[in-house]
Amino acid sequence: MVNVNKILEKYGMNCPAEEYGDGHINDTYLIEYNGEKYILQRINHNIFKNPHEVMENILGVTKHISDKLVSKGEDPKRRTLTVINTLDNKPCCEVDGNYFRMYNFISDTVTYQTVERPVLFYKAAKGFGEFFNLLSDYDASKLHESIPDFHNTQKRFCDFENSVKTNKSGRAELVEKEIQFLMDRKHEVSRIMDEIKKGTVPLRVTHNDTKLNNILFDKITDDALCVIDLDTVMPGSVLFDYGDALRFGTNPVAEDEKDLSKVYCDIEKFEQFTKGFIESLGNILTEKEIELLPFSAQLLTLECGMRFLADYIDGDIYFKTHYEEQNLDRARTQLKLVYDMELKEEEMVKIIKKYI
């Protein structure tokens, strides 16, 4: 049980705290003190092994964004997270073996768990695109890898093959069809990583968790105001962020939907996100990045599917599950989405050319 009062003492505060939000990684609390609101979070050090490096990353990118916004005459406290230091001027504190940090609370905003309207996905893309644009001149080599090899799809596939080989749970025989689906695409998993090594796809500052609920929207206009959940900000490819957003946002049903006939890539939502993303990024994308945009959606969906399937074969040791075959249902949903994206690749290419 977290002793919130003990943590707040580090900030010179003495006030109640209430649990806030529905995140799956970090514990979050809403604090109100002297008429101001703040967000207090526990950093999950089981996932983020070095919280101090995570905070170094966050301080670096938020200051860079803040300076850019000030130069444009915008309010940085509304458009980017502001880290609140402790009494001894530290960006986070350790209490009882746990690490905590505090942000300003950005009022009159809302988050969405699903893409309720296609235009919302367009606005989310504008928000993520502006985030990348503001950081386009930030030296990505200054950032720590908060989770090493997070989107190294080549390594992810090797891990998947190892899970199939060791077959800890004895379930591999039950999912031969799904395993074969992935094996048939083995030749594609290193495609983006190979281009990064060649230098044709540059390493940039990337978010690496571009779900819709990681953007704060203006409560009245629904404009994207602020990208949040910056723990996974590190060097990467913009293709990973673009592809992962489409993986999350174009599937109209739940991640563990059992009826696969309901799973498909909503091409209208694909177009809305692509339009907003390209409009915000301007001309910073390279020729190779543009070429690989439609493939990146397939690859990031494939990566997620192989991770779910590997965890099912391993005996459900990584992802939280609420019933026995949930990881298998999750994997099947992702693989069906990959299949539908492959069928629609030509249409996706036309849409991208339309906005480029």
Kindly state whether residue 171 falls inside one of the protein's structural domains: yes
| Mean pLDDT, the chain, whole residue set | 94
Domain of residue 74: give its range: 4-107
Kindly state whether residue 113 falls inside one of the protein's structural domains: no
Indicate the residue type of 156: R
Kindly state whether residue 201 falls inside one of the protein's structural domains: yes
**DSSP 8-state secondary structure symbol assigned to residue 107:** -
Identify the CATH number of the domain in which residue 218 sits: 3.90.1200.10
For residues 99 and 91, the answer to whether their CB atoms sit within 8 Å is: no
Same domain, 74 and 12: yes
Same domain, 15 and 141: no
Same domain, 142 and 264: yes
Same domain, 184 and 272: yes
For residues 204 and 235, the answer to whether their CB atoms sit within 8 Å is: yes
Query: Percentage of residues in the chain with pLDDT exceeding 90?
Result: 89
Identify the CATH number of the domain in which residue 101 sits: 3.30.200.20
pLDDT at 264 (0 to 100): 98
> Using one digit for the tens of pLDDT, what is the confidence trace for 279-302?
998 789 999 999 999 999 999 999
For residues 263 and 257, the answer to whether their CB atoms sit within 8 Å is: yes
Same domain, 73 and 216: no
Does residue 1 have a pLDDT over 60? no
Q: Output the pTM of the full model.
A: 0.91
Same domain, 159 and 273: yes
Same domain, 98 and 188: no
Residues 6+ apart with CB under 8 A from 320: 24
| Domain stop point among 72, 107, 142 | 107
Total domains, the chain: 2
Helix or strand holding residue 36 (H, E):
strand 36-43
Region 144-163: what's the mean pLDDT? 95
> Using one digit for the tens of pLDDT, what is the confidence trace for 5-61?
899 999 999 888 888 865 445 588 999 999 999 999 999 888 899 999 999 999 999
> Using one digit for the tens of pLDDT, what is the confidence trace for 101-132?
999 999 999 999 889 899 999 999 999 999 99
pLDDT at 26 (0 to 100): 58
Kindly state whether residue 149 falls inside one of the protein's structural domains: yes
Does residue 188 have a pLDDT over 70? yes
Same domain, 175 and 247: yes
Same domain, 153 and 98: no
pLDDT at 20 (0 to 100): 81
User: What is the crossing angle of helices 176-183 and 326-343, to 10°?
Assistant: 40
